[in-house]
Amino acid sequence: MRSTCYAVFMLLLFHSGLGAQKPNILLIISDDLNTRIGPYMNIDKHTPHLDRLADAGVRFAHAYCQYPCCGPSRASFMSGLYPETNGVLTNNDQPGSYKKETPALANHPSMAGFFRENGYFTARVSKIYHMGVPGGIERGETGGDEPDSWDYAYNVMASETLSPGKLELLSPKNQHYGSNFARMVVPDEMEETQADYMATTQAIAILENRAGKVPEQGTNKQRIKKDAPFFLAVGFVRPHVPLIAPENCFAPYLESEVVLPPLKIGENVPEQALRQQNEKLFGMNELQKRRTISAYMASVRFMDQQVGRLLETLDRLKLRDKTIVIFLSDHGYNLGEHDCWSKISLWEGTVRTPLIISVPGYENNYGTTCTAITELIDLYPTLTELCGFAGKEPAILQGKSLAGFLNGEKETDRDASAFTISYQGGDATLRTERWRYTRWGENIGQGNEELYDHLSDPEESVNLATYAEFRSVLEDMRHKFELAREKARSGLK
């Protein structure tokens, strides 16, 4: 037990039934962000505010999404259910539709909805579920949502592709803005026109509201829940394409200094694993690839600046020691690894995501790294336990609490695994402590499998699925894969 006396005191304070207010929750979600950030790669001065958050929390080094696509992934971790259980398998599926279509889930609250039902003031700012970026966000649309989760919701209406600046298409074979690569440098004095800046400004206003005094008369007190803790979810759209950021964010990332990843593709890699290759979908030349990566890094930097504004507000309002802060992305992102780009694929870089959790009172574990395999659906039960609702959370939740990793009671879980699907569930991958096994389609033995040893091959360059000496490992991973797939598909049985 490494928990300090102070941590124990804070835990008792949070969970006390003697009237002590439960902790606030600030949930920050980035869009299409991989782990090429300071807390994971020690990139100096790239994401200083995320670095600061990681220094005041626990960094989860092996957190995985359940679907490498915005809508299904977000609906999954917000419901605490695998995509094949809640039925959200495309960006067009509404996140709350499972309540109508599946009787057993009719009363299942989202993560935010659970806290609202238990007395929290809940607010959503910008993209938490799927939203058209660009497109819907330029019209101020809600996008996908579960409106009964929120006491207050704010949709940003942003300029995006209409921002002041020159929009440069970088992917000649893909001209659909939203899935192609394009960049725009916005003048620094116009940064306030950008979606993430506006979202942060609104989130700061909400924090000011919660920290200040509000009128007590009339229905206003009941609506605002003046004395309630808050659950504030803030969604940033960067670094989702189009890659738009102020000029100061581009300055550190000269395209001439960008290093493209080496192209290492084994001869026995299934063709299905390579559907996101450059020549098949994007047609970028070397200069366009460099500009894409440079603009992606600039977009990450701009998003990090907004994280800094939120953290500074928590400090200024003296809310930091009362607030659990979580930062994550909906999935990872490829930038040329295996010659693949964007999301949807089932490579490590596509399905691995940042996850940082900072809990006041757990200072003894600040700045540490959890190396255990975790899933984004673990977030729902983690927060319910941290906030004193253990045993009261929905029984249907398919994740597991990570609280033990946060308070120091637990260091690893060698039996843990992460299951991720893509292409509406027909294809899937399983990650264990050492191995990744991927299967394209339902059947086996048709040249449609991948097996990678992350102990010796973390970049997944050598597919061992056809190597006779790894036959026993392959059989074991096939078995574990089937168990994981059954769990993901049979959560209601």
CATH of the domain at 116: 3.40.720.10
Average pLDDT over residues 128-157: 94
Q: Is residue 148 part of a domain?
A: yes
Q: What is the pTM of this model?
A: 0.94
Whether residue 12 is predicted with pLDDT greater than 80 in this model: the reply is no
Within 342-470, where are the H helices?
Answer: 348-351, 379-386, 403-407
3-class secondary structure, 104 = helix
| pLDDT of 445 | 86
- The 10 Å CB-count burial string (b at 16+, else e) for 374-397 is bbbbbbbbbbbbbbbbeeebbeeb
Q: Is residue 471 part of a domain?
A: no
Contact, 32 vs 405, CB < 8 A?
no
Could you tell me if residue 423 is inside a domain? no
Burial class (CB in 10 A: 0-12, 13-18, 19+), 458: exposed
Q: Within a domain: residue 436?
A: no
* Residue 439 forms part of a structural domain: no
Question: Would residue 467 count as lying in a domain?
Answer: no
- Percent of the chain having pLDDT more than 90? 83
What per-residue confidence (pLDDT) applies to 16? 38
178: confidence class by pLDDT, cuts 50, 70, 90: confident
- Residue 168 confidence class, pLDDT cut points 50, 70, 90: very high
With 80 as the cut, is the pLDDT of residue 11 above it? no
Number of domains in the chain: 1
Nearest-angstrom CA–CA distance, 199 and 249: 18
Task: Flag whether 119 is in a domain.
Answer: yes
Query: Over 70: is that where the pLDDT of 493 sits?
Result: no
Q: Which of 490 and 453 is assigned the larger pLDDT?
A: 453
Reported as a single tens digit per residue, the pLDDT across 66-75 is 999 999 999 9
- AA identity, residue 71: G
Q: How confident is the model at residue 224 (pLDDT cuts 50, 70, 90)?
A: low
Computed over every residue of the chain, the mean pLDDT equals 92
**CB contact at 8 A, 235 and 31:** yes
State pLDDT tens for residues 356-391: 999 999 999 999 999 999 999 999 999 999 999 999
Is 481 domain-assigned?
A: no
What per-residue string of b and e applies to 475-486 under the rule 16 or more CB within 10 Å gives b?
Answer: eebbebbeebbe
227 pLDDT above the threshold of 90: no
Q: How many residues would you count in the chain?
A: 493
Range of the domain at 29: 5-416
